[in-house]
Chain A
Amino acid sequence: MIELLAQTCLNAVYAASYISLVAVGLVLIFGVMGVINFAHGELFMAGAYAVVTLYADLHLPFLVAVAVGLVFVGCLGLLMERALFRPLRDNPLGGLVASIGFLMILQALAVLGYGVRMEHIPPATQEVIVFSDKVRLPLARLYVIIASVVLLAALWYFLKRTRFGWALRASAQDPEAAELQGISINQTARIAMFIGAGLAGIAGALTAPLVSVNPHMGHSVIVTAFIVIIVGGVGSLEGAVVASVVYAVVHTFVTTFYDGVIADIVGLSLMLVVLILKPTGLFGSADRA
């Protein structure tokens, strides 16, 4: 029993690590751009397909594939910013609907390019850390955990300690006042979209060998990310990280002890309960509704 609990905890930590990367990116985009990016799950998928192409098909090193995935998906984010969100800046519902359109395009391109079959990607490493007979952690999963801790720490440093991060937070708080201070809104929007999309991309790229990669994988990712950002409070980065951990623990334990569908229902109900009782989430402030 103890071993099962320990193993489930390890699984939860792994799930929390990549969910938090996706959710933090989504929150960052919402904070700076004011739109909810429905295509975020498909950005995750795009990162995974970058690894399919470069690592599984072209046999480049795994890390090169992940880096290219990060930059490629970041550039998709820039494209979205320029083509969709900038013209629709005064129309949040329009931005959301446009991102749904972008989602459909990305999904269709993946189907056209790769077909609907699941891609098999050899893991970067087969090694497993064995704690005991029933408690084991594949090294590939450990890499994902380490990568997300490093990335989130780097993001925290960037946002709180650098000039660009300071400008970014300023324009998230009050775009007009920030503009009066000489901060370029377009510039901060570009940075936020590149980082936000890039985080989704790298999460997809890192986990590609560990999940089933297919053109419709984005759906469950975006549902999870929505639950996490609502529970954590829309617009709160710290909330997103904490809620990722909470959600991952709940979901992993319910999956282990009941089944996956029940776990999804529990997760969605958790979100509804938070929406009803405290719509600002665990960490959200009242004024950013």
Chain B
Amino acid sequence: MLKYLIWPLLAVGLVLLPHGLSFSQQEILVFLTINVLLVSTYRLLTLTGEWSLGHVVIMGVGAYASALYTKEFGVWVPVSMLLGGVTAALLAVLLSFPLFRMKGFYFLIGSFAAGEIIRLLWKRFRDPFGGPKGIKGIDPMPDFSIGIYDFDFFEPVSYYYFAGVVVVVCLWILWRIEKSPVGLTFHAVHWQDKLAEASGVNLRAYRTLAFAIASGFAGVGGALMAHYVGTINPNSFDVEVMVFVLTWAIVGGTGTFYGPILGCVALTVLNEIVLRELGFEQMRPLIYGAILILSILFMPKGLESVVQRLIQPRDKKSDADREALS
């Protein structure tokens, strides 16, 4: 019974959520929605066993591309968001040629270097990237109405609904990919690479595919952010942001689909509600660092392992109940 109610209840909860919040909290909610997409794409990348340090820059590629398409060519914003994602995916395919000659630690460092080079190119070339100050005055999403609700994108609530729908669709696609034969092959590439290769799986192609899909959806996330904030610069996508994504993924755990989302939501709530309200804003990196260390030391499987432990005994008990009834 509960199983069928949980999704509608969650949907209603998410629709009602912004109305109980203050204006600044609604804005944070928009960023949280986009970050959920970002951290989920990061998990898809880690499925094949590679940990990238360039993922946030790839997201930035989507943001820059989408912003430039609307600015230079006057592309309609929703289309240019999609094109931003496509651009990020194509760049990932290009980057895969040098990067996938590396594995493990070397891939980590290589992706970091590639990301920094892209960021420095944005910084160096004023035309078209705007140099260190970045791109300002990015076209906002045009307002529209669907009859029962008028979208006015100066209101964070409207943008939250819009971004929420986009993110839910993206998450659904990511979920379908993971459960498809392709997704299972990603797992095989990570855990049984020799066996997979022996049974005819092209490791390189599947790693590239995972990288491209993850980058494409991250690019869409970046575009969503660019058209909401209206201004982007190279520092919006620096290593510090990458470390936050890494922290969300590790604190949440990457073993399940919901793990990284859980980490992202939990840490954002902690950060915005606890730290900001209590006035510990400056301590944010310190507390994030401490949480990162504590969770890798004492909770190496992440928050998801705690959730699983909470669910497991209840399942056993309900099994026992069922047996008792029959």
Interaction A to B: yes
A210 within 8 A of B: no
CB–CB B120/A98 < 8 A? no
Q: Given the known inter-chain contacts A92-B105, A97-B246, please indicate yes or no for A272 contacting B117, CB distance below 8 A.
A: yes
Q: Which of A98, A107, A226, A268 contacts B293 (CB 8 A)?
A: A98
CB–CB A105/B289 < 8 A? yes
Give the size range of A's interface with the partner.
Answer: 35 or more
- Taking each of A84, A111, A261, which has the highest tally of chain B beta carbons within 10 Å of its own beta carbon? A261
Question: In the complex, A264 Cα to B124 Cα: how many Å?
Answer: 11
Instruction: List the A side residues contacting B113 at CB < 8 Å.
Output: 226-227, 268, 271-272, 275
A175 within 8 A of B: no
B190 within 8 A of A: no
A94 within 8 A of B: yes
A103 within 8 A of B: yes
Instruction: List the A side residues contacting B284 at CB < 8 Å.
Output: 108
Shortest beta-carbon distance, B101 to chain A, in Å?
Answer: 5
Shortest beta-carbon distance, A99 to chain B, in Å?
Answer: 9
A177 within 8 A of B: no
B142 within 8 A of A: no
B296 within 8 A of A: yes
- Taking each of A96, A100, A272, which has the highest tally of chain B beta carbons within 10 Å of its own beta carbon? A100
Within 8 A of B (CB), among A147-163: none
CB–CB A275/B110 < 8 A? yes
A193 within 8 A of B: no
Q: Which of A87, A104, A226, A230 contacts B292 (CB 8 A)?
A: A104
CB–CB A276/B101 < 8 A? yes
CB–CB A268/B116 < 8 A? yes
Q: Which of B106, B109, B285 contacts A108 (CB 8 A)?
A: B285
Within 8 A of B (CB), among A265-279: 265, 268-269, 271-272, 275-276, 279
CB–CB A84/B293 < 8 A? yes
CB–CB A112/B283 < 8 A? yes
Shortest beta-carbon distance, B282 to chain A, in Å?
Answer: 6
B230 within 8 A of A: no
Name the CB-closest residue of B to A99: B293
Shortest beta-carbon distance, A81 to chain B, in Å?
Answer: 14
Instruction: List the A side residues contacting B239 at CB < 8 Å.
Output: 219
Instruction: List the A side residues contacting B288 at CB < 8 Å.
Output: 101, 104
Contact with A along B297-308 (1 / 0, CB 8 A): 100100000000
A164 within 8 A of B: no
B290 within 8 A of A: yes
Instruction: List the B side residues contacting A261 at CB < 8 Å.
Output: 120, 123-124
B121 within 8 A of A: yes
Q: Given the known inter-chain contacts A109-B286, A226-B109, please indicate yes or no for A262 contacting B124, CB distance below 8 A.
A: yes
What 7 A-B pairs are tightest by C-beta distance, nearest first? Answer: A104-B289, A108-B286, A101-B292, A101-B293, A105-B289, A108-B285, A101-B289
6 further interface pairs, Cβ-Cβ under 8 Å (given A93-B51, A97-B250, A223-B116): A101-B292, A102-B293, A104-B288, A112-B283, A265-B124, A275-B106
Q: Could you name 26 residue pairs across A and B whose Cβ atoms are closer than 8 Å?
A: A36-B105, A36-B109, A87-B297, A94-B296, A98-B292, A100-B246, A101-B288, A101-B291, A102-B289, A104-B243, A105-B286, A105-B289, A108-B282, A108-B283, A108-B289, A111-B285, A112-B283, A223-B116, A226-B112, A264-B116, A265-B121, A268-B117, A269-B117, A271-B113, A272-B113, A272-B114
